[in-house]
Chain A
Amino acid sequence: MTIALETQNLEKQFGGLRVTRDLSLKIEQGARHALIGPNGAGKTTVINQLTGVLKPNSGRILLEGQDITDLPVHKRVLRGLSRTFQINQLYPDLTPLETIGLAVSERLGHGGDWWRRMGTRSDVNGEIADLLTRFHLLDVMNEQTVTLPYGKQRLLEIAVAIAAKPRVLLLDEPAAGVPESERHDILAVVGSLPRDVTVLLIEHDMDLVFSFADRISVLVSGALLTEGPPEQVARDPQVKAVYLGEEAVNV
């Protein structure tokens, strides 16, 4: 199996606090890999290092075998690494149409066009239409994002990440805060991602993790506690102790 995303001895400190400790992860191509851990385990810090928002103190990050540790955020995206955010990071004043249009334009290298009008490239328009349809956003494409219901915003959040056509997609708690009635759309969308896209899922919801992931890494205090297929992780007494606690897990 080829490795899509890898960290080697990743180390991150905030002052005296070690939030990522010697973390070496390997995520196989096409995997549905979940990263779980109790609150404050440093999961989001890992994501932020993978995407380039934070620089690790030491260690390397490899995307499809190439060292991307020193690349800025936007260059990693163009190399095929895209993410969603735990808390929606959208453009309040822009519409879903504009938001997705921008992501598609950037990927196709038209983002710097300063003379050609938005909306005059048929390839870009086609892709936008596809994404809007797939994510049930066609009917609200001209509404300002800030006015959309939370579930729709969440869908947009994921749609934007997909618009970058990632080969590796990092999903940071995609279903967080979504009301029960709208959850189904999110889960369906996450479930229908093409198999050749590698997905790293960070999630609190154990039902989602165990239904989705084929491999799970458990992070505790910034260090890797254990890793393996879901059944094995669910049975692991250490995991039960530190993370799952008294919560019953149904696999």
Chain B
Amino acid sequence: MSASSDVGYHAQRQARWHYGEAAFWLVVLACGFLFPTRYLIMTDILRLALFAMSLDLILGYAGIVSLGHAAFFGVGAYAAGLLALHGIVNEPVLALVVAGLAAMVLGFATSFLVIRGVDLTRLMVTLGIALLLEALAERFSNITGGTDGLQGIEMQPILGEIPFDMFGKAGFFYSLAVLFVLFLFARRVVHSPFGLSLRAIKNNPLRAAAIGIPVNRRLIAIYTLAAFYAGIAGALFTQTTAIASLDVFAFERSADLMLVLVIGGTGYLYGGLIGAVLFRLLQEVFSTITPQYWQFWIGLVLVVIVLVGRQRLHRWMLYVPNLIIKQVAGRKAVVAVPESDS
């Protein structure tokens, strides 16, 4: 093999599908048939997974920390709710795209604020934007329904064919299809030169600029795309639950998302998916054992992961996830919390 084709082969190493990945998606699909009584919680996990994947795009690949990702989730959620409520766009898939675009516009507009600062500034700016939107949604209650939220949303059948059922079966498969399509898209993007340049920027913005990468433009692009993803996640929330209330903007939602990625790991796309599953399972387990204090235990797990974690947890406690990741991503996986504060 010549050096050139050798290079081509190795350059595409990560972009190729691995058996582990196919297995992962088959298991997810199988869950839809194995647990017909658990559609609601599983749909919830899928939404969270999509939302976390959105944060992973900016955090795991481009190194942008955010404590206000719920801003885009919320805009998507309200947009989908309003579109359905007022019959502007009745067909859910189309409405989903429109809601995603609404969040995308907000993402593009706010990206200019976000790229300016470094980590701490970014945390504050993103947090501020989400709080601002929450306050606006409360203030303009004539549009958003205020603290009551949007009431009486009735979803039309998906593609005019498949109605949402009361067991959430349609909602689950609909969400799964959306997640999978968006995952494929993200997977394609992160293995492109553009995606690689994001990792370069995260690793070393100084050098990234020194080889001709327009750093700011790339960050704006990925932030905007991530906003679109988060908006879709929010819209799915409204469409599958038929409610949109102020808590879509809540700080907890953004913070939970960080936890999901801390648990699942960043920068290989599956972190959000695996993290979402583990996070919800932990929540379930803890709230069964101690209904009142489950948050305490979640908090404790987080503190342990963050403090003890970094070096040691990665080696032993996350030994199994790392094995999976190695299978799934085909590379030495690093289940890592944001690089910036390590």
Contact = CB atoms under 8 A, between A and B. Distances in A.
A74 B207 contact: no
A102 B189 contact: no
A93 interface: yes
Nearest to B14: A118
A97 B200 CA distance: 13
B212 A77 contact: yes
B324 interface: no
Contact of B200 (A102, A132, A144): A102
Given A102-B196, A112-B194, A115-B192, A97 B12 contact: no
Interface string A41-52: 000000000010
Nearest to A105: B193
B206 interface: yes
Contact of A133 (B3, B189, B218, B332): B3
Interface string B1-30: 011111111111101000000000000000
Interface of A: 51, 53, 72-75, 77-78, 82-83, 85, 89-94, 97-99, 101-103, 105-107, 110-120, 122, 125-126, 128-130, 132-133, 138, 141-142, 144, 160-161, 163-164
Contact of A89 (B7, B8, B207, B214): B207
Contacts, number: 154
A130 B188 CA distance: 27
A93 B331 CA distance: 12
A141 B203 contact: no
A244 to B, nearest CB: 31
Give the secondary structure class of B's interface.
Answer: helix
Given A72-B209, A91-B204, A97 B197 contact: no
Contacts of B192: 113-118
A141 B7 contact: yes
B195 interface: yes
B314 interface: no
B4 A111 contact: no
Contact of B10 (A77, A94, A119): A119
Interface string B168-197: 000000000000000000001101111111
Interface string B150-177: 0000000000000000000000000000
A72 B13 CA distance: 34
A108 to B, nearest CB: 10
Nearest to A79: B212
A141 B200 contact: no
Given A91-B199, A119-B7, A119-B10, A129 B211 contact: no
B185 to A, nearest CB: 9
A117 B207 contact: no
Contact of A117 (B15, B211, B332): B15
Given A51-B210, A93-B199, 19 more contacts: A74-B211, A74-B213, A82-B210, A89-B207, A90-B203, A101-B7, A102-B193, A102-B213, A106-B212, A107-B211, A111-B197, A113-B192, A114-B195, A114-B221, A119-B15, A126-B4, A128-B11, A129-B3, A163-B211
